[in-house]
Structure 1
Amino acid sequence: MRPPRYLPVLFSMALGAAPSLALAQSSPAAPKAAPAPAKAAPAPAKAAAGAPPAARQRPGRARKPKKADDLAGRPVATFPGFRMLPTGGSRVFVQIHGGKVDVAESKAAGRLVYRMKGAGAIQTNRFPLVTAFFATPVTQVQLVDQGNDLDMVIDLRAQTEATYRVIDTEQGVVIQVDFPPFVPDQRAAAQPEGARQRAVRRTIPQEPGSSDEGSPEL
């Protein structure tokens, strides 16, 4: 009996598949894929070119309020003044605009102080007014803030009598302080003329209520 015709074909197919099966059994298992690395944190954004580092930036300084804002609604000393009188005496005065003020006088050794209640003054009117080169007992006049009030401080080179008065005007008041004639010390009178020219001088209009003319003013 002859074997079926398809047996040689099956036998050859089995012989060809055997090496493949042996190779598959002998090869190691494929390694598992490694886990994906964690994503790195995003890098900080670079500063714009020319911009200073954040650590070097300083907060802006708070601006001080303007002095004019503090004087809103208050009487204001527009300017202090000094003048020699034809009688040989001298006068210190200050004009107040914006309302009436009460004035209190106080005396100390070498100084007179006139406090103007509720008044104020701008910075340029608070500089010292030097009068030491005139024949007057007054050496200096200065407006000084005292809280909500304003002091007119008069420094004296010698003790002397002084009289003051308050004159009402349409804009406010004028405070006048008059001094008698004074003979200065000869050593002070011998100061060079150049030193007198360097003194701070202010020319201001004649104060209201005065009819004196031709006398020097500061």
Structure 2
Amino acid sequence: MRGGGVFVGELFGRGREEPVPGVVLLPGWLGAAEQRELVAACREWARAPAGMRAVRLPSGGVMSARTVCLGWHWYPYGYARTVVDGDGAPVKPFPPLLDALARRAVREAYGEDGGGVAGAAGYVPDVALVNHYPHGARMGLHQDREERVDAPVVSLSLGDACVFRLGGTESRTGPWTDLELRSGDLLVFGGAARFAYHGVPRTLPGTADPELGLTGRLNITVRQSGMA
């Protein structure tokens, strides 16, 4: 959907899309077996200690999506090595599975040489946020600004499809580009779009493959923190 609200179309099927500079969508990037492997892994990562939690914002509101962090613990608006806004446990390590997937994702999005996108050629991911969206959950427009480098962000979708809203870098107001992200899709944003406002205004319940055994949507966001 662009500007006033029209979806980026599928006139010629779901091929690679670059809806705005720096943003690459690769539909169906994860095969069925890879998706099942990631769902099983997310269930393990979500277990306590340092498990999945509801994030309370400084305003007092609570995010409707639930989150577990790997490598570094994200909280509004910073990173820590322990779950400072939860059970206080050490954050779980960043897994080799996501390291390999994220590096491959950036190569396939921008090419082996990074295509001139900042941080793409020497991409070293070290943090992941796994968000579970139950039916009715959403994510308001926000920027990913806690990292100390401007390396690309890798986003993997599992389960129910969603509407992903992408805006500009200066404010939350439109115009926006809306994309439908489905299970197995890869979205990478970097370069001019690295600090774009983005969010999930709604999920599309009942669109997941029943064989995944997943209710709602899982999103795995992988980043390079730039912290030692």
TM-score, normalised via structure 2 length: 0.22
Larger Rg: 1
Higher RCO (CA 8 Å, separation ≥ 6 residues): 2
